[in-house]
Structure 1
């Protein structure tokens, strides 16, 4: 059995789709559907069962699920603006520790979501070398909760037994339920449909013009291919960056959406909320050398190609699901 936590969420449901493509459907989905619309991500998927995340850990540790081959741990609070630190400690840190211990004791493959938010403002770079992990200073509690687990994995000597993926700015199908945490690609598409223009944050850093703040944007489908490779490549372990490997501006992204919609760009710049200004990353870029040296053969979409596929084959067809 393969267990996917956060299996109804953005990356989690995408990976269940990828498992189905690989001919696998002995899958347990763990999530908290609540009153959200993310249940729709499950409709096209094949899986054995679903269980609420609050019931799952106790049953797992009591042996309710024998023969677990892998745990793909995408289930965590992904909101970078979440202020409940105790919730993040419980949901992102302690929950992950219990899963990791189970996988180590049962020899199950453990692949989990870390985050580029662990790198903070980028002053120390974005190197996924294990030796520099302890120096990182995240800018928000979300990033800190991810950093704590990365450091715990290192401290417990698990770096040679698990895979942690530091996702950068992922966009693609199955994200419609994420509200404010949706990618700017999706937000921009609907802004353009409604108003004919895209609104981006102004810059408050002298080295970056308005809309010239840079991010490493990576398409969901490429992330799923990398995850599938790690699932099968059990001798490759550690914490890896997962981005495209090149920083592009928000202006580039907005223009790519206009281009995919066959429209001329019209961009407007708005004030950034005061609460974000001191915690805003002006530049992220994922060095991908480590993944390449590990032998991962995935050929990534460019920003323009990924945006075009997402806009033309999903958003414009009113079908946000893989």
Structure 2
């Protein structure tokens, strides 16, 4: 049995779809369904069972879990309740780690590129975790767990912390404001015929030229399956991005091209209080993942956006 926390969420549901395509359906989903439409993400998936997150540690004692894929988390980067954020993202994750260490279960979990802060120390996995400064409670919760793991002497037999960069793709509509820029831009075009981007407040970045490492969610799922199938690998943190950077202007141009519609963009002031939490540049160093044998090509941004726009247009 495979346990996937956050299985009805954006990344989790795409991982389940990838498993299903390989004929793997012995999947236990642990999540916390709410008033959003994220339940639709698993309505057409083939799983063994669903349990509420709050009942997880009572019920997994009855299951023969072989792999834990921990994608569940509060991902709201604007959430100011640090206490609740740590409860959801830090305490819960520690309990899962201890369970996997005790039961000798492979553990794959979602870290985040947000732990790199403003990027002044670079984007490689071997940075000094005690030097980076997270920009919000979400990033701090992820960083705190990575720091905690680095101190553990009792570990699962194999474990991988996947530092996701800027993910976009099907299954994120329930995320609201936290959905990708690709999602929001598509709907802005649909409703207004134009896209609004934040102005740059730094002289070395023109408006819309802030850069991100955008990665298609299908590529994320492929990497998780790679770790699932790999019998052994060096346990540790792995960046999960495309290894390429694109500006927001390039992203929006790709969306207009796929829509298709004439390009219309408007640059607006960044909301007060966001500037000190905003990353102007991210780029994953992907060498570590490649050195353990991952050789699959990442989806080109234009191709991924084209597929995503086609998916969004199919929704009614």
TM-score by length of 2: 0.96
Aligned to 1:135: 131
Q: How many residues align?
A: 314
CA-atom RMSD, angstroms? 1.3
- Partner Cα distance (1:160, 1:3) in 2: 16
Give 1:1-322 correspondences, 5 Å limit: 1-60=1-60, 63-65=61-63, 67-129=64-126, 132-157=128-153, 158=155, 161-236=158-233, 237-312=235-310, 314-318=311-315
Q: Post-superposition shift, 1:245?
A: 0.5
Specify every segment of 5 or more residues in structure 1 that has no aligned partner in the other structure, as ranges.
Answer: none
Structure 1 runs of 4+ with >3 Å offset: 157-160
- Partner Cα distance (1:295, 1:9) in 2: 28
- What's the CA shift string for 1:136-178, capped at 9, x where partnerless? 2111111010011111111104497311000000000010100
Q: Post-superposition shift, 1:102?
A: 0.7
SS of residue matched to 1:135 = coil
The 8 Å contact of residues 159 and 236 in structure 2, kept in 1 or not, is answered as yes
- What's the CA shift string for 1:62-119, capped at 9, x where partnerless? x222x21111100010111111111111110010011011111112111000000000
Cα distance change of structure 1 residues 149 and 301 upon mapping to structure 2, 3 Å threshold: same
SS of residue matched to 2:129 = helix
The 8 Å contact of residues 159 and 239 in structure 1, kept in 2 or not, is answered as no
- Partner Cα distance (1:124, 1:310) in 2: 33
- What's the CA shift string for 1:121-145, capped at 9, x where partnerless? 001111112x533322111111010
- Partner Cα distance (1:35, 1:188) in 2: 24
- Partner Cα distance (1:309, 1:262) in 2: 13
- Partner Cα distance (1:212, 1:159) in 2: 42
Q: Post-superposition shift, 1:57?
A: 2.0
The 8 Å contact of residues 104 and 157 in structure 2, kept in 1 or not, is answered as no
- Partner Cα distance (2:282, 2:37) in 1: 31
The 8 Å contact of residues 115 and 139 in structure 2, kept in 1 or not, is answered as yes
Cα distance change of structure 1 residues 284 and 86 upon mapping to structure 2, 3 Å threshold: same
- Partner Cα distance (2:152, 2:231) in 1: 19
TM-score by length of 1: 0.95
- Partner Cα distance (1:161, 1:230) in 2: 9
The 8 Å contact of residues 159 and 238 in structure 1, kept in 2 or not, is answered as no
Specify every segment of 5 or more residues in structure 2 that has no aligned partner in the other structure, as ranges.
Answer: none
